[in-house]
Amino acid sequence: MPGRPGLVKEIKDLIRKISTANPTWGSPRIVGELGKLGIELSKSTVEKYMVRVRKPPSPTWKSFLKNHVKDLVSIDFFVVPTLRFKILFVLVVLAHDRRRVVHFNVTEHPIAQWTAQQMVEAFPWNARPRYLLRDRDAVYGQEFRDRVKHFGIDEVITAPRSPWQNPYAERLIGSIRRECLDHVIVLNERHLKRILSDYFGYYHRWRTHLSLTMDCPEPRFIQFPESGKVVEVREVNGLHHHYERRAA
């Protein structure tokens, strides 16, 4: 049996013309307008032929991170097992502009009160960021939120199960694991703090970063050949090395 007759080209063109001239109109509005012209069509038919004008893109999450890089600090936790199978929680506070680890600490029992105290230690009065980027972990409880608000810092909270929205902190944690913790056995909390302190010393002063055009978080000056011979210096108990020129 023959199917439903198709629309004539004149009506198709009219739907396209109306939808283009009135980009804020949805299909129901166009159906109503056509009805007033004696053209009875279903909503699905209008949607099939209407021109969908692309809306101007809203600022993306990536744009927000880029635009506020100098005002933005992110925080995140990661876990480290010890030799005796205890689980330690490491909090890192990262300033985005120079990829600096502003603060870190280790605990067996992360709670809102402890996490709030870390904000006090991380941000002296003259060095508080405008935005604090974090996930929705329950450890950031009311006491933590009150402390951050008291500091005048706006919290930016990622969507559920969206670690990509906190990319700099996630990248840092990945580097810590690959370049340090995957190569050592952690004995206890004190041992972990010492390992991380050594690694962050290397990370800040000597490790070059692609995002910083191959500079370090603490700017590293170029040493020209007349400065002396190149020497190798062990870092993080020999896991890494840095190279510098020293006069004979």
Q: What is the pLDDT at residue 1?
A: 44
Q: What is the pLDDT at residue 87?
A: 97
61-187 CATH, one of 3.30.420.10, 3.40.630.30, 3.30.360.10, 3.30.470.20: 3.30.420.10
- How confident is the model over 176-189, as pLDDT tens digits? 999 999 999 999 99
Q: Which two tokens stand for residue 153?
A: 């810092």
Q: What is the pLDDT at residue 125?
A: 75
Q: Find, among 165, 142, 145, the residue nearest to 65 by Cα.
A: 165
Q: Which residues pair with 156 in a beta bridge?
A: 133
Claim: this prediction has a pTM higher than 0.85: no
Q: Find, among 193, 224, 227, 220, the residue nearest to 205 by Cα.
A: 220
Q: What is the pLDDT at residue 150?
A: 92
- How confident is the model over 21-43, as pLDDT tens digits? 887 788 888 998 888 888 999 99
Cα dihedral value 158, 159, 165, 170, nearest 10: 80
Q: What is the pLDDT at residue 24?
A: 76
Tokens 């021109």 -> residue: 51
Q: What is the pLDDT at residue 56?
A: 53
What is the total residue count of the chain?
Answer: 248
For the chain, domain boundaries: 9-49, 61-187
- In the chain, how long is the greatest CA-to-CA distance? 97
Q: Which residues contact 78 (CB under 8 A, 6 or more apart)?
A: 89, 90, 92, 173, 176, 177
Distance in angstroms (rounded) separating the CA atoms of residues 56 and 36: 31
Q: What is the pLDDT at residue 21?
A: 85
Q: What is the pLDDT at residue 181?
A: 97
Regions of the chain short of the pLDDT cut 70: 1-6, 53-59
